[in-house]
């Protein structure tokens, strides 16, 4: 099924997933897109340069113009804007930015019978000891490890209590990486950081394990290429009868070593890994294993992922990082 023919609103449009989403919409022939973000003083604005959209406004203006003619005809909202720093310690800021903002935008969407798709996070699952099952059943048992994860979890809980999850779609993105993340500083993916390290020194640094069940570099994550993440996002937005919470990941857990190995290979260099200690800020808050159960996503007809870990890393390196994109 196609997306609504009415205009599209994308929040967080200059971010990693947001800019990739707009690019994919452009390929589909959609340019009736209103973009919002907080461009600030970093380089994220560069992600918007090749994209085609009809309007832009700063995110702190959005709530004040929801009832204006500027947004009146919007039919689909992709709410991807948030503070995604897992190290952010200003809890009040995260509540305002990630919970309250999302609540007000969801209310507006529901009142106008608009399609509302928002970014939740796999960080809501905490250390995974309570499972990583999507859907709304039993979400009260999850214990996020950081304030970012809790701010996302708080909205999921609110949406469940209000009955909204029968009408809106929340996306629990796992470890998304790919072109468009250069502005993210310390929150960049290991692939992006490793590329720079390898180009400069011929080696890459990975965290040593402090868990007896995992060897150094054997910590496991569900790494999800942004091109697959966007494909799944658009699919759910365009699929009738797909409300609720969905895991968005590859459905496979891979080690950090498996992640960086194809990067060395694509650059024609021998694998050279140096293990370093876990920073104090991450001790007790570090996830040693994540893997998305994507059976609910597959039940909606999604046929991805279309990239393996190896092919995704190679595509990122050869088509984007080496090209300077």
Q: Is 148 a catalytic residue?
A: yes
Angle subtended at Cα 211 by Cα 208 and Cα 212, rounded to the nearest 5 degrees? 110
Q: What residues contact residue 29 under an 8 Å CB cut-off, 6+ apart?
A: none
- The closest alpha carbon to 101, from 140, 158, 53, 50, belongs to 158
Q: How many C-beta atoms surround the C-beta of residue 22 within 10 A?
A: 26
How far the first Cα of the chain sits from its last, in Å, is 32
Taking the C-alpha atoms of residue 88 and residue 80, their distance in angstroms, rounded to an integer, is 18
Q: How many C-beta atoms surround the C-beta of residue 315 within 10 A?
A: 18
Say which residue the tokens 């402090």 belong to.
Answer: 210
Q: Which residue in the list 148, 177, 195, 225 is annotated as catalytic?
A: 148
Give the 3-state secondary structure of 157-207.
HHHHHHCHHHCCEEEEECEEECCCCHHHHHHCCHHHHHHHHHHHHCCEEEE
Q: Which residue in the list 46, 184, 193, 285 is annotated as catalytic?
A: 184
HSE-CB of 73 using CA atoms within 13 angstroms: 10
Q: Is 56 a catalytic residue?
A: no
Angle subtended at Cα 223 by Cα 91 and Cα 31, rounded to the nearest 5 degrees? 80
- The closest alpha carbon to 224, from 202, 209, 206, 246, belongs to 246
Taking the C-alpha atoms of residue 245 and residue 258, their distance in angstroms, rounded to an integer, is 29
Burial of 274 (C-beta count, 10 Å sphere; 0-12/13-18/19+): exposed
Q: Which two tokens stand for residue 202?
A: 């011929």
Q: What residues contact residue 201 under an 8 Å CB cut-off, 6+ apart?
A: none
Are the beta carbons of 26 and 94 closer than 8 angstroms? no
Residues taking part in catalysis: 148, 184
């Amino acid at each position: 099924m196609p997306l609504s023919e009415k205009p599209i609103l994308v929040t967080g449009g200059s971010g990693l997933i947001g800019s990739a989403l707009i690019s994919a919409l452009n390929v589909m022939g959609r340019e009736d897109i209103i973009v919002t973000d907080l461009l600030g003083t970093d380089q994220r604005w560069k992600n918007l340069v090749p994209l085609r959209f009809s309007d832009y406004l700063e995110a702190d203006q959005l709530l004040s113009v929801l009832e204006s003619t500027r947004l009146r005809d919007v039919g689909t909202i992709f709410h991807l804007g948030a503070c995604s720093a897992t190290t952010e310690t200003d809890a009040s800021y995260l509540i305002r930015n990630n919970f309250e903002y999302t609540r007000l935008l969801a209310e507006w969407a529901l009142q106008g019978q608009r399609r509302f798709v928002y970014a939740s996070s796999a960080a809501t699952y905490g250390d995974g000891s309570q499972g990583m099952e999507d859907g709304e059943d039993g979400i009260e048992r999850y214990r996020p490890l950081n304030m970012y994860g809790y701010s996302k979890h708080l909205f999921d809980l609110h949406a469940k209590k209000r009955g909204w999850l029968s009408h809106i779609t929340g996306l629990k993105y796992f470890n998304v990486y790919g072109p468009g993340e250069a502005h993210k500083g310390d929150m960049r993916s290991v692939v992006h950081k490793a590329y720079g390290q390898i180009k400069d020194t011929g080696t890459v640094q990975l965290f040593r394990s402090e868990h007896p069940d995992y060897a150094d570099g054997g910590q496991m994550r569900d790494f999800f290429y942004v091109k697959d993440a966007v494909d799944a996002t658009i699919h759910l937005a365009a699929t009738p009868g797909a409300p609720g919470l969905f895991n968005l990941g590859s459905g496979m857990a891979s080690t950090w070593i498996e992640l960086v190995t194809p990067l060395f290979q694509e650059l024609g260099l021998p694998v050279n890994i140096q293990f370093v200690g876990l920073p104090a800020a991450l001790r007790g808050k570090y996830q040693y294993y994540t893997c998305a159960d994507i059976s609910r996503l597959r039940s909606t007809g999604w046929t991805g992922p279309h990239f393996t870990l190896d092919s995704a890393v190679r595509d990122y390196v050869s088509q984007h990082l080496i090209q300077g994109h």
